[in-house]
Amino acid sequence: MSNLFDTHDLSGLPLPNRVVMAPMTRVRAAAGGLATPSMATYYAQRASAGLLVSEGVQPSLQGQSNPGTPGLHTDEQVAAWRPVTDAVHTAGGRIFAQLMHGGRVSHADTTGLQPVGPSAVPATGQVFTPTGLADAPLPRALETHEVPGEAASYAAAATRAVDAGFDGVELHGANGYLITQFLSTDANLRTDRYGGSVANRVRFAVEAVTGVVDAVGPARTGIRLSPGSGIWGAGETDVRETYLALLAELAPLDLAYVHLEATTDEDVLVELRRAWPGTMIVNPVHPGGPKQADREAADHWLGLGADLVSFGRAFISNPDLVERLRDHLPLAPDDQATWYTGGDRGYIDYPTHAESA
């Protein structure tokens, strides 16, 4: 069994430990989807992680889900990200950009565009808009000839991410966003080559990942998945079959990693781990489970074959999380009221354990 503080070779990128900071939306971007100096501070503070994965970054205006999130589809956005990646590298860290196309989980008040999805089926629940929460709108079903263009948006953003100094990218194929919508038997009611059978429903994900690999190389490419999560109503009736098929299609691409959320039965997750020949990151928090992953959860998944373990919420209030886990120090609680409020409060003002002692 690996130790959480062992080194790991991530497709040629040396990681000093096996702790990954999971992507978390923090809605601190400036107008135009620009990264800010505070974002540089935020990520640099957490650079002791083996790998940082950024918040979800929209690959296009059409792909933007929430207001206040950053993009990677304009030259100005690329330039704004460079001080962030420079700050992380100066602090000794490594960072991948998570590319997140919201698909139907968006709103015209945010983007000026009608959201798109595999089918004209709205997400369940409410979405964020500049004026507050609103019911998820009816998306426009993509025409068959349009689907490859949405898949290609990830590759275009990946190229910009590398230009901005990121060490690689992670496609957001989890939590009910566009890739998940195509995988879903509830959100995807298509009858063309992108819908119906498992082989057809995994096609969009495979095309998106293949495009990114062609653009920036397999060593710079990962994907995050949340089997069976059903978030935003993107449920799957055949979880095991769908994700085994997807991993079988992705395996020949020799990706840097698959980032798996523990959102289905453990035996299925272990089977997926065994089916994947490369690096597997596991995010151990299950909806309804512990609010923060901890050392015990990490060790459990390392024992089940995970190579790396990602922590989300625990990193919000513990910029020195690696050191706290290593030294068995208590974890500081976070203030949920400041998750999405903007500004520096609840963002870059959490002290390290040494600072608060």
Q: Which residues are catalytic?
A: 177
Q: Are 158 and 208 in contact (CB under 8 A)?
A: no
Q: How far apart are CA 159 and CA 30, in angstroms?
A: 22
- Rounded Cα–Cα distance for residues 238 and 227 (Å): 10
Q: Which residues is 209 bridged to in the sheet?
A: none
- The neighbour count for residue 117, using CB atoms within 10 Å, is 27
DSSP 287: T
Indicate the SS3 state at residue 290. Answer: coil
d(CA 83, CA 40): 6
Dig out the tokens for 258 from the structure. 């698959």
Q: Do residues 57 and 78 touch, judged by C-beta distance below 8 A?
A: no
Cα–Cα distance measured from residue 277 to residue 248, given in angstroms and rounded to the nearest whole number: 10
Tell how strand 221-225 and strand 8-10 pair up.
Answer: unpaired
Q: Give the gyration radius of the chain's Cα atoms.
A: 19
Task: Name every residue whose Cβ is closer than 8 Å to that of residue 341 and which is 6 or more positions away in sequence.
Answer: none
Evaluate whether 197 touches 183 at the Cβ level (below 8 Å): no
Token code pair at residue 248: 């079988």
Q: Report the amino acid identity of residue 132.
A: G
